């Protein structure tokens, strides 16, 4: 369930992209991204800008049957990966255009990028959070500061758990069933979230599906720290033994989650 109004997500697409753009100014675009080892910094930027454009294209063409061009854009359709100025302008234009098109479509419009039929509200939230996470990748590459509004980071955690649960339910990733087993529970506790953000999560993997809820309950393993850092641990952007994060209990349960809950 989304924590914010539709307009907030549309605005975050633009503002989070602006923060990411600031993070790579003057950086080596050929530098490897430590959190995405197969990518350079330029690859990361092209990936995000292409994702924004594919969502925008689907939102803009939603009323056409069949779509004018069902072939998704690829990073090869973007600017020269060695041209920092062109990448900067391209990212800014893509984010602004996506936000504008989503606003024009309205939250209830059906949008189908990547073959996944969901509401525009779903895709606005997904694009905002995708940008939040790729900001972390850029910061890890360039050494830029990385801070995230606590309520937004908590919502990003909610969405990640929703997606993992949904993908398992749909049978898209059958290997997620390997997460299930007796005694497999996790508790996430964030230390800086506002009360309305519900900064505790209980993940129950003991049944026949992934279940989670906002709750303070004893679990096999507990992860505690600032919400942006817990978020990055769950997205495998920080090691679980990062100095601001505490892990208590059965580390194997957490390691199994981090190994399997990935796309």
The domain that holds 161 is classified in CATH as 3.30.1050.10
Tell me, yes or no, whether 210 and 255 share the same domain: yes
Tell me, yes or no, whether 129 and 193 share the same domain: no
49, with CB counted inside 10 A (0-12, 13-18, 19+), is: buried
**Is residue 106 one of the residues assigned to a domain?**
yes
Residue 183: is its pLDDT beyond 60? yes
d(CA 101, CA 58): 10
Tell me, yes or no, whether 119 and 171 share the same domain: no
73, two tokens: 């854009």
Tell me, yes or no, whether 256 and 166 share the same domain: yes
How many domains, in total, are found in the chain? 2
What's the residue count for the chain? 263
d(CA 79, CA 84): 9
CB 131 within 8 A of CB 18: no
Q: What are 74-87's pLDDT values in tens digits?
A: 888 999 999 999 99
d(CA 132, CA 12): 9
**Is residue 86 one of the residues assigned to a domain?**
yes
Residue 65: is its pLDDT beyond 90? no
Tell me, yes or no, whether 41 and 119 share the same domain: yes
Tell me, yes or no, whether 21 and 93 share the same domain: yes
**Where among 88, 120, 146 does a domain terminate?**
146
Position 222 scores a pLDDT of 98
153, two tokens: 């980071």
**Is residue 79 one of the residues assigned to a domain?**
yes
Tell me, yes or no, whether 123 and 200 share the same domain: no
**H helices present in 41-149, as ranges:** 41-60, 84-105, 120-142
Q: What pTM does this model have?
A: 0.94
Residue 68: is its pLDDT beyond 50? no
The top-scoring range by mean pLDDT among 52-66, 111-125, 216-230 is 216-230
What three-state secondary structure class fits 23?
helix
Sorted by sequence, the CB contacts under 8 Å of residue 139 that are 6+ apart come out as 23, 145, 146
Tell me, yes or no, whether 19 and 134 share the same domain: yes
**Where among 92, 112, 146 does a domain terminate?**
146
- Strand 118-119, strand 110-111: pairing: antiparallel
Position 63 scores a pLDDT of 64
Strand partners, 224: 189, 246
d(CA 142, CA 11): 25
Tell me, yes or no, whether 13 and 130 share the same domain: yes
Tell me, yes or no, whether 28 and 141 share the same domain: yes
pLDDT (average), residues 255-263: 92
**Where among 99, 126, 146 does a domain terminate?**
146
Structural domain that includes position 163? 151-260
Q: Which uninterrupted H or E stretch holds 32? A: strand 32-33
Residue 207: is its pLDDT beyond 60? yes
**Is residue 1 one of the residues assigned to a domain?**
no
**Is residue 168 one of the residues assigned to a domain?**
yes
Q: Nearest CA to 101 among 52, 156, 65, 50?
A: 52
| CATH number of the domain enclosing 34 | 1.20.120
Tell me, yes or no, whether 81 and 168 share the same domain: no
Q: Percent of the chain beyond pLDDT 70? A: 97
Tell me, yes or no, whether 12 and 137 share the same domain: yes
**Is residue 121 one of the residues assigned to a domain?**
yes
């Amino acid at each position: 369930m989304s924590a914010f109004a539709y307009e907030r997500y549309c605005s975050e697409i633009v503002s989070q992209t602006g923060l990411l753009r600031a993070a790579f100014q003057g950086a080596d675009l050929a530098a490897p991204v430590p959190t995405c080892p197969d990518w350079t910094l330029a690859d990361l930027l092209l990936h995000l800008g292409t994702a924004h454009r594919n969502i925008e294209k689907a939102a803009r063409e939603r009323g056409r049957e069949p779509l004018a061009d069902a072939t998704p854009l690829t990073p090869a359709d973007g600017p020269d990966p060695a041209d920092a100025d062109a990448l900067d302008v391209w990212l800014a234009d893509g984010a602004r255009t996506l936000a504008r098109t989503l606003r024009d479509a309205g939250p209830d419009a059906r949008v189908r990028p990547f073959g996944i039929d969901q509401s525009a509200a779903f895709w606005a939230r997904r694009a905002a959070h995708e940008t939040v996470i790729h900001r972390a990748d850029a910061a890890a590459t360039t050494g830029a500061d990385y801070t995230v509004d606590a309520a937004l980071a908590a919502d990003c955690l909610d969405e990640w758990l929703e997606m993992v649960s949904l993908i398992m339910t749909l049978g898209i990733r059958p290997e997620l069933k390997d997460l299930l087993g007796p005694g497999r529970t996790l508790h996430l506790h964030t230390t800086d979230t506002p009360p309305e953000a519900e900064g505790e999560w209980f993940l129950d993997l003991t049944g026949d599906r992934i279940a989670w809820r906002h709750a303070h309950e004893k679990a096999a393993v507990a992860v505690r720290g600032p919400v942006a850092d817990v978020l990055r641990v769950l997205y495998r952007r920080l090691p679980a033994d990062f100095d601001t994060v505490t892990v208590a209990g059965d580390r194997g349960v957490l390691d199994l989650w981090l190994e399997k809950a990935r796309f």
